[in-house]
C-alpha cells in the first residue's frame, strides 16, 4: 500500500509520534509511506515526498487548518490524487455540529478564524470518506478509525509477569524514578480534571512522591488566552506550589515516554470534547509504552471498549488518593491489569492493524 | 453559466467595479456572477456567495498580490472546481518575464518572486487570461479585455454635478509620479494661473501609505508634496467605485494615466472605460496608436504626451469640439467593448 499522509508535523505538538509509528510500521511491513511535503531535517525518522504518482490513499490527518499544505502543493495534491483515493481523519471533531462543553469546543472563530461550515465544506471537498478516532461517530456519514495506536515494540520495559514488574517498580529509587506522578501534555481544556486529580493526590502526596506537570502553560495562564478571552486554559500556581507540583515546559515527542517512565503513575486525561465524542488520542495509547502505571481518568465504558475489561482496574473508583495509595501498597493488581491491557492493545490496536483497517477503507473506496 | 470570482474586493478599486458590471449585465443573459465571500454591508448591491455548489466555474482574479482565501476555503474551492473549471485573470501582468522599466516600474522585484507567481498560476489552472490587446505571449495565455463599456452608465450633462474642477485626476498614486511629476505638472505649472481648480482624488499623492514598506516599493508611492502645494492641487481621498463617474463629472477635464508596466503590456483597466462614462473631456497619457487601437481613430485627438500644455488649454477653450470627439469615442466603445460582448467572451473562454 502506498500511503500518503497529508498533515503538518512538528516535533513538539499534535500527532507527530503517531506519524512516526506509521512510518516505522510501513517500513517493517513493506508498505510505502510518506508525509506530503518537503523534508524536515529536525524529523529524520520521517520520509517526506512531493511525488504523487501511484498513491493508493492520501490520508488527510486534520487537526488545525495548518494541516492542509500550502499552495501550490495543495492544488497539485487535489488535482493529482483523485477524490476516491483521498480520506480525512478528523482528529479534533471538526466535522460535527458546533459543540460547547465546559469551556471546550470544536469550532471557535475567535481562535482560528473558522466557522463550522468551513470545516464541513473543506472536508467534504477533500473526500467522501470521513473518519473520526472514535468507536461511535455522531454522524452517520462518518466512519470509525481510531488512527492512533499501540506499538508493543515501544514499551520501555517488558515484563512476563505482574509480580516481577511490581517488584521492580516498588524497588525503583528516586534516581531512576524521581516522581510519584507525571503528566505530560499541554494545558488545554484539562485544568478542571487535572485539579480534581491533584486534589485527590495531595492527600497522599508524601507517600506517592512529587507530581510533575510537563507541557505548555501550566505555570501561569498564558497572555494569548487572556487576550482572546479563552477559558479552559486555566491554572492555579498557588495551589500547585502548595502541593509541591513541579512544572516542566513542553518536550519533543520522543522525550515523552522516557519522561513518563520517571514516575510511578501516569494519569491519562481527555479534554471534555474528546470525552464527549469518545475520541482517542496519541497519549491514550502511548502512556502504555511507558514504564509507569497508567491512571485512566476516563469514563469506564470507554475504558472497557478501548482498553479491554482488565483496564478497569486502572480507573480510580472516585478516591484518587486511595487509588494511588492502595496501588503503592499492592501494585501487583495494577501491574497485572497493565500487562493484560498491553496485550489487549497489541491485539486490537497495533499499527499493523491500523494499516489493515486503512487497506479495507481503501478497498471500499475503489 | 454561474461564475464565482475569487478576488480581493475593495469598494474603491476598479476590478470590484468591473465585476459589479458583470453581475448586472450577466443577469440579463441568464448568467450569475458573484464574488466569493460573505455579504458585505457596505457593498449591498454586490452578490457575494459562499455556496460554491451553486457555481459552474471559478475565476481567480489576481492583482499585485497573490490574494488567498483561507486554507479551508481554498481546499473547498479546489475540490469543488476541477482544474478545467478554473480560470485565472492576471490583471497586473505578473504572468510575464521579469519586467523592469527604466529602473522604475516593474511587475516583480526579483526573479525568484516572479518564479513563485508562475508556479502558483501554473499549478492552479490551465489558462491565464490577460486584460490586454497585445498578442498572447504563451500558448496558455488568452487575451480577454475583461472590462467593458455600458452606454447606459454615461452621465448626461443635465445630470452631472457642477464643474468645480478644471482638471481632475482620479486614481491612486501607484506608479504614477514619473508621468505626473515628470511631464504633466511641469507642463501645466507655467500656465497655472490660466487654469481653475486642479484636483487629485485618490490615495498617496501627498504622503506614502501608513503601512510603510509593507505596502510596496517606495518608488510606487513617490510624490513631491512641495510641487503639489505650489500648484495648489487639491488632494481628496479615494471615492467608492460607484461614485467614480459622478466625481469625474465634476471636472471639465479628466487626465487619464496608466501604470507604466501595464501600458507597456498593453493592458486595459476599468479606468479606460469609466472615464468615458463621465461628463468630462478625458485627456489621455497614452501613445496615440495605442489610444486609437482601443478607442478608435478619434481618440488621437485626446492624447497628451508631448503636448500637455497645449492640449489642456485647447480643451478648456474649445469644449464643444472635444465633446464631439468624446461622442465619437463613446460610439466606438459601445460598438466594440460592450459588456454583452465581454460576457460572451468570458463564457466562451470558460467553455473551451
Q: Please state the domain count of chain B.
A: 2
- Same domain for B159 and B301, yes or no, is yes
B69: closest chain A residue by CA? A71
**Which residues in A lie closer than 8 A to residue B52 (C-beta atoms)?**
121
CATH code of residue B117: 3.40.50.2000
Inter-chain residue contact A66 with B71, CB threshold 8 Å: yes
- The number of CA neighbours under 13 Å toward the Cβ of B126 is 10
At residue A135 the predicted structure's pLDDT band, cuts being 50, 70 and 90, is very high
In B, which residues are within 8 Å of A65 by CB distance?
70-72
This model of the complex carries an ipTM of 0.90
* One domain, residues B291 and B228: yes
- Are B177 and B308 in the same domain? yes
Give the pLDDT confidence score for residue A94 in this predicted structure: 97
Please state, in angstroms and rounded to a whole number, the distance separating the CA atoms of residues B73 and B51. Answer: 11
pLDDT score of B13? 64
Whose cell is 506537570? That residue is A213
d(CA B244, CA B278): 9
Confidence of residue A366 (pLDDT cuts 50, 70, 90): low
Record: contact B75-A126, CB cut-off 8 A? yes
In this structure, the answer to whether residues B159 and B261 fall within a common structural domain is: yes
Cα→Cα distances A47→A4, A72, A199, B258, Å = 10, 20, 44, 51
Whether the per-residue pLDDT at A112 is higher than 90: the answer is no
Burial class (CB in 10 A: 0-12, 13-18, 19+), A54: exposed
B68 and B176, same domain (yes or no): no
Identify any residues that bridge with A212 across adjacent strands, giving them in sequence order: A182, A246
Using CB atoms within 10 Å of the CB of residue A203, give its burial: 0 to 12 exposed, 13 to 18 middle, 19+ buried. Answer: middle
Quick one: pLDDT at residue B29? 85
**pLDDT 10s digit of each residue in chain B, 352 long?**
999 999 988 765 668 888 888 898 888 888 999 999 998 888 888 999 999 999 999 999 999 888 889 999 999 999 999 999 999 999 999 999 999 998 899 999 899 999 999 999 999 999 999 999 999 989 999 999 989 998 999 999 999 999 999 999 999 999 999 999 999 999 999 999 999 999 999 999 988 898 888 888 888 999 999 999 999 999 999 888 789 999 999 999 999 999 999 999 999 998 999 999 999 999 999 999 999 999 999 999 999 999 999 999 999 999 999 999 999 999 999 999 998 888 888 888 888 6
**Of A71, A78, A114, which is closest to B72 when you measure between CB atoms?**
A114
* Cα four-point dihedral sign A203, A204, A209, A214: negative
The whole-number pLDDT of residue A113 equals 79
pTM over 0.80: yes
Residues B256 and B320 in one domain: yes
Domains in chain A, CATH or no CATH each: 2-149+350-365 (3.40.50), 152-348 (3.40.50.2000)
- Whole-angstrom distance, CA of residue A137 vs CA of residue A124: 16
SS3 state of residue B25: helix
Q: Does B72 contact A126 at a Cβ distance shorter than 8 Å?
A: no
The DSSP output letter for A247 is E
- Tell me what the pLDDT averaged over chain A comes to: 96
Expressed as residue numbers, the domain containing B108 is 2-148+338-351
Instruction: Give dist(CA B98, CA B221) in Å, integer.
Output: 21
A65 CB near a chain B CB, below 8 Å? yes
Same domain, B173 and B301: yes
Candidates A52, A60, A74, A116: best to mutate against B (most CBs of B within 10 A) is: A74
Please tell me the predicted confidence (pLDDT) of residue A110: 76
Q: Do residue B264 and residue B344 come from a single domain?
A: no
**What pLDDT is attached to residue A352?**
97
For B341, how many CA atoms within 13 A lie in the half-sphere containing its CB? Answer: 13
Q: What is the pLDDT of residue B269?
A: 92
> With contacts defined as CB-CB under 8 Å, which chain A residues touch B68?
71
Instruction: Tell me which H or E stretch contains A338.
Output: helix A331-348
**Cβ pair A122:B72 closer than 8 A:** yes
Q: At A225, list the grid cell.
A: 488566552
B49–chain A Cβ distance below 8 A for any pair: no
- Co-location of B82 and B92 in the same domain: yes
At B156 the pLDDT is 95
- Are B120 and B159 within one domain? no
Q: Is the pLDDT of residue A23 over 90?
A: yes
Identify whether residues B96 and B195 lie together within a single domain: no
Among partner residues B76, B82, B120, which is closest to A121 by beta-carbon distance? B76
| Contacts with A300 (C-beta within 8 Å, 6 or more apart), sequence order | A312, A315
| pLDDT reported for residue B14 | 67
What is the pLDDT, as a whole number, of residue B50?
A: 94
Whole-number Å distance between alpha carbons of A17 and A2: 20
Distance CA A82, CA A51 (A): 14
The continuous run of DSSP H or E covering A214 comes out as strand A211-214
Q: What is the DSSP letter of A153?
A: G
pLDDT value for A57: 97
Instruction: Tell whether A120 lies on the interface with B, counting CB pairs under 8 A.
Output: no
Same domain, residue pair B182 and B143: no
Cβ contact B175:B257 at 8 Å? no
Amino acid at each position: 500500500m502506498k500511503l500518503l499522509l497529508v498533515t503538518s508535523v512538528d516535533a513538539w505538538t499534535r500527532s507527530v509520534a503517531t506519524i512516526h509509528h506509521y512510518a516505522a510500521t510501513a517500513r517493517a511491513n513493506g508498505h510505502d509511506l510518506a508525509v506530503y511535503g518537503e523534508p524536515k531535517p529536525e524529523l529524520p525518522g520521517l520520509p517526506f515526498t512531493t511525488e504523487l504518482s501511484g498513491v493508493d490513499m492520501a490520508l488527510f490527518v486534520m487537526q488545525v487548518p495548518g494541516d492542509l499544505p500550502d499552495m501550490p502543493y495543495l492544488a497539485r495534491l487535489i488535482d493529482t490524487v483523485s477524490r476516491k483515493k483521498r480520506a480525512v481523519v478528523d482528529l479534533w471533531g471538526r466535522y460535527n455540529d458546533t459543540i460547547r462543553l465546559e469551556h471546550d469546543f470544536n469550532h471557535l472563530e475567535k481562535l482560528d478564524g473558522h466557522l463550522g461550515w468551513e470545516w464541513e465544506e473543506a472536508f467534504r471537498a477533500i473526500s467522501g470518506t470521513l473518519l473520526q478516532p472514535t468507536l461511535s461517530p455522531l454522524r452517520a456519514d462518518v466512519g470509525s478509525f481510531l488512527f492512533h495506536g499501540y506499538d508493543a515494540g515501544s514499551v520501555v520495559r517488558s515484563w512476563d509477569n505482574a509480580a516481577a514488574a511490581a517488584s521492580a517498580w516498588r524497588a525503583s529509587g528516586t534516581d531512576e524514578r524521581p516522581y510519584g506522578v507525571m503528566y505530560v501534555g499541554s494545558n488545554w481544556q484539562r485544568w478542571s480534571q487535572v485539579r480534581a486529580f491533584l486534589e485527590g493526590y495531595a492527600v497522599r502526596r508524601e507517600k506517592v512522591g512529587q507530581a510533575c506537570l510537563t507541557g505548555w502553560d501550566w505555570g501561569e495562564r498564558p497572555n494569548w488566552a487572556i487576550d482572546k478571552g479563552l477559558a479552559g486554559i486555566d491554572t492555579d500556581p498557588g495551589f500547585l506550589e502548595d502541593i509541591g507540583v513541579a512544572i516542566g515546559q513542553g518536550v519533543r515527542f520522543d522525550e515523552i515516554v522516557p519522561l513518563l517512565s520517571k514516575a510511578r503513575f501516569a494519569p491519562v486525561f481527555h479534554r471534555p470534547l474528546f470525552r464527549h465524542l469518545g475520541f482517542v488520542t496519541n497519549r491514550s495509547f502511548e502512556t502504555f509504552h511507558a514504564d509507569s502505571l497508567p491512571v485512566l481518568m476516563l469514563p469506564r465504558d470507554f475504558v472497557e471498549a478501548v482498553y479491554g475489561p482488565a483496564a478497569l482496574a486502572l480507573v480510580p473508583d472516585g478516591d484518587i488518593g486511595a487509588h494511588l495509595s492502595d496501588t503503592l501498597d499492592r501494585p501487583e493488581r495494577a501491574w497485572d491489569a497493565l500487562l493484560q491491557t498491553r496485550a489487549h492493545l497489541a491485539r486490537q490496536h497495533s499499527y499493523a492493524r491500523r494499516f489493515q483497517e486503512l487497506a479495507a477503507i481503501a478497498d471500499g473506496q475503489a | 453559466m454561474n461564475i464565482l470570482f475569487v478576488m480581493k474586493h475593495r469598494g474603491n478599486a476598479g476590478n470590484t467595479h468591473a465585476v459589479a458590471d458583470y453581475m448586472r449585465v450577466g443577469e440579463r443573459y441568464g448568467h450569475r456572477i458573484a464574488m466569493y465571500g460573505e455579504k458585505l454591508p457596505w457593498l449591498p448591491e454586490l452578490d457575494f456567495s459562499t455556496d460554491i455548489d451553486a457555481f459552474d466555474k471559478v475565476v481567480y482574479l489576481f492583482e499585485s498580490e497573490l490574494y488567498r482565501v483561507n486554507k479551508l476555503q481554498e481546499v473547498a474551492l479546489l475540490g469543488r472546481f476541477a482544474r478545467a473549471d478554473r480560470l485565472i485573470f492576471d490583471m497586473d501582468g505578473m504572468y510575464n518575464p521579469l519586467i523592469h522599466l527604466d529602473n522604475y516600474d516593474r511587475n516583480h522585484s526579483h526573479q525568484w518572486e516572479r518564479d513563485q507567481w508562475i508556479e502558483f498560476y501554473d499549478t492552479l489552472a490551465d489558462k491565464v487570461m490577460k486584460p490586454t490587446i497585445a498578442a498572447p505571449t504563451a500558448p496558455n495565455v488568452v487575451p480577454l479585455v475583461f472590462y467593458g463599456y455600458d452606454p447606459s452608465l454615461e452621465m448626461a450633462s443635465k445630470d452631472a454635478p457642477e464643474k468645480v474642477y478644471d482638471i481632475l485626476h482620479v486614481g491612486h498614486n501607484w506608479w504614477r509620479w514619473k508621468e505626473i511629476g515628470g511631464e504633466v505638472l511641469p507642463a501645466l505649472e507655467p500656465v497655472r494661473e490660466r487654469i481653475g481648480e486642479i484636483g487629485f482624488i485618490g490615495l498617496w499623492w501627498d504622503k506614502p501609505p501608513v503601512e510603510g514598506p509593507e505596502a510596496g516599493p517606495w518608488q510606487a508611492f513617490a510624490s513631491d508634496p512641495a510641487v503639489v502645494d505650489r500648484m495648489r492641487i487639491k488632494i481628496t481621498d479615494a471615492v467608492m467605485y460607484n461614485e467614480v463617474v459622478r466625481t469625474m463629472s465634476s471636472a471639465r477635464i479628466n487626465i487619464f494615466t496608466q501604470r507604466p508596466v501595464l501600458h507597456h503590456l498593453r493592458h486595459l483597466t476599468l479606468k479606460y472605460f469609466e472615464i468615458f462614462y463621465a461628463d468630462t473631456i478625458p485627456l489621455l497619457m497614452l501613445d496615440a496608436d495605442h489610444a486609437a487601437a482601443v478607442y478608435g481613430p478619434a481618440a488621437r485627438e485626446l492624447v497628451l504626451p508631448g503636448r500637455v500644455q497645449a492640449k489642456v488649454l485647447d480643451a478648456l477653450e474649445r469644449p464643444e469640439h472635444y465633446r464631439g470627439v468624446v461622442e465619437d469615442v463613446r460610439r466606438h466603445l459601445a460598438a466594440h467593448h460592450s459588456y454583452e460582448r465581454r460576457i460572451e467572451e468570458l463564457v466562451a473562454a470558460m467553455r473551451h
